[in-house]
Amino acid sequence: MTLLPIVERELRVAARSKITHRIRIYAPMVGIIVTGLFLTFESRAGTGFSVGTYLFMALGWLSFIFVSFAGVVLTSDSVSEERREGTLGLLFLTDLRGYDIILGKLMSSSLQSFYGLLAIFPVLALPLLMGGVTGTEFWRMQLVLVNGLFFSLALGMFVSSVNHDSQRTLQTTFLLMAVVLLGFPLLDPFYHWTSIDHLFLAAASPGTTFAMVLTKKYHQFWSCLAISHALGWTFLVLASYYTPRLWQQKSAEEKTETRSSNLRFGSPQSRQRVRARLMAISPVCWLIARRPRQGFVFRVLIWIAFGLFIVAYAMGSVSQSFQALLQGGRAFLGFALLVWMASQASRFFVEGHGNGALELLLCTPLTVNEMIQGQWHALKRLFFWPVVLMLVVTALGSILQMKGMGAPSINLMPFHIFTLVTGLINLILGLITYGWVAMWLGLVTRKANIALIKTFLFVMILPWFATILLQLFQVFAPGFWGQSWFGLPAMSYITTAAWMAKDVAFILWARKNLYSRLREIASGGAIARRPENSLPPAGAPPVIVSPA
């Protein structure tokens, strides 16, 4: 008998995957590029700061963001996907236990992310040679990153074991991880960012130990690390407990299911009204926007942020810590809005291709243009008011930030106005870009988490590195541009224009692919042609070897 057979099988499959080999190259490449940029900037600028310390902090931040949200894109839909496809029940027909399945899914989902983290460890050790970082700080950072990865993956497994819908699991995991990382320290009455001495709620957050490494204040470090690690194991135990008990729908739970359905879709009377109103626009619009409470938690957060910014603007002057909290909350809500847009835009094509609804819709008189326009009508209904509130929050945040900098000079006033206006335009243009690209990638990838990863990789991460290279080009070749006019405002104008051009290019690319290839991919034509090259040539019958 094999101990943990699912773990062994999933590890074998994941070890043969191409992404497992590629990520061991891509992860250190990112670290090497960041290191090269830091060293080049220091050699050209000659600022005199401790390169090792700042490089260690930059690589630590990149690694911690990666491990913190690994569970959102890797394990948040692992068990729920098996439940939707009906294969989870087949596993329980054997003598497998809940922990066999949970640990197997955890191993298969975490192998690539752990290899990526392991590959970047040597790059993180480079600041040791530059000075400013001790060996103790380096190894504490490694422990924090590995523990943060385990915590994030375990949280994703737990959410996936108690939910059925892919978008709900993804959004719930994202919000819970954000609450643990940011909410626990903010709600802890004994936690202070400048003096971490007494902890209560913040002790369970992996972000607390990460902040201790950055600030070099290790009071209660090991106890906080042990508490957050134990909480991760608690999530795995709960996932192992609930998975064999919630995988099937029981007839005794019909009342609970009806109550849950009314909570998600509304009462039968409201469903009829929503159906009549949305079907008049498009059947696709009804399929996507028929749930009136989609994004309820995010809407609440937007309204809370809106109220806080209104209060801060009415007060005129606020403390620096409160202003930093507002700006950090604004950045988080902007990122969460992009995640929600990308996940919601890819959802229709991922689920429609999986259950065959997309192919059935193409058999109706609906055209490709009507289907895509119907989805955009649904997205407008879902995102109109959140986007309006986010635009107001962004504008108020920029005004408060300018007030905190003091009275701007007359020469810099056009630059501040330009920054404010382009910030609002970039928000709207970015949402449209993420919508188009996520729709196309959701059609061709077939998995919501993979579509989300690719969307942010293509639209945000790779252009972000290109923007850094563009900004550092001034340091590399100052004589080519001329220092007389290529200053901070000119650099901001060029970067903003390049970022907008990038968004427009992605919109045109995704739109062209959707309109030209949606029917072909949805009908299986693009996939049916793949195995043709592997067929044996005509006249060559298969050889059957005798068992004797």
Helices (H), 125-180: 126-130, 135-162, 166-178
- Among the listed residues 338, 350, 343, the one whose alpha carbon sits nearest the alpha carbon of residue 445: 350
Residues 283, 275: Cα–Cα separation, whole Å: 9
**DSSP tally for the chain: helices H, then strands E:** 26, 0
Structure-token match 């090792």, residue found:
52
The pTM of the whole model exceeds 0.85:
no
Residue 121, token pair as written in the block = 């460890």
Report whether 265 contacts 292 (CB < 8 A). yes
Torsion sign across C-alpha atoms 67, 55, 490, 462 = negative
Residues 208, 289: Cα–Cα separation, whole Å: 39
Residues 434, 497: Cα–Cα separation, whole Å: 18
Q: What is the pLDDT along the chain (548 residues), one digit of tens a residue?
A: 456 677 777 777 777 777 777 778 888 888 888 787 777 766 655 554 567 788 888 888 888 988 888 888 788 888 887 787 777 777 777 777 878 888 888 887 788 888 888 888 888 888 888 777 888 899 999 999 999 999 999 999 999 888 877 777 887 888 888 888 887 877 776 655 545 556 778 888 898 899 888 888 887 889 999 999 999 999 999 988 888 877 654 433 444 445 555 556 666 777 788 788 888 888 888 888 887 677 777 788 788 888 877 877 777 666 666 677 777 778 888 888 888 899 889 888 888 877 778 888 888 888 889 999 999 999 998 889 889 988 888 888 878 777 765 555 556 677 778 888 888 899 999 999 999 999 999 999 877 778 888 898 899 888 887 777 766 665 555 544 444 444 556 677 778 888 899 999 999 999 999 999 988 888 775 443 444 444 445 555 555 555 54
Residues 468, 474: Cα–Cα separation, whole Å: 11
Widest Cα–Cα separation across the chain: 93
Query: 127 Cβ partners below 8 Å, 6+ apart?
Result: 51, 52, 53, 55, 56, 59, 133, 138
